[in-house]
Amino acid sequence: MEGRSRNEISSAEAILVGTLSSGVNAPTWIVLQTTFLLLAFCFTAMLYLAFFSSDFVIVGHVLLLITIGVVLFVLLNRYPPSLPTV
């Protein structure tokens, strides 16, 4: 960005600045965390039903879904946006 005027910002830089700005992503982040919490409840219920159905193929598939959900949650929590202070 050195040597360019203020109005000559590339679209990639504008997207990066927009995603890192505080205040814009806070409501989205709260919705995402709530969604993952509800997903954890659903996976718990699915795992409970899979164990009591005695079908271990279903248990394996549910464990795979749980692993995918945990990996996504960890990756999204790695860089949480800064929440605005009041």
List the domain range (segments joined by +) for residue 69. 11-77
Count: domains in the chain:
1
Query: Is residue 25 in a domain?
Result: yes
Angle at 77 between CA 73 and CA 80, to 5 degrees: 145
Question: What pTM, to 2 d.p., does this model score?
Answer: 0.54
Query: Is residue 82 in a domain?
Result: no
pLDDT tens across 39-52, in order?
889 988 988 888 88
pLDDT tens across 18-41, in order?
666 665 566 777 787 888 889 889
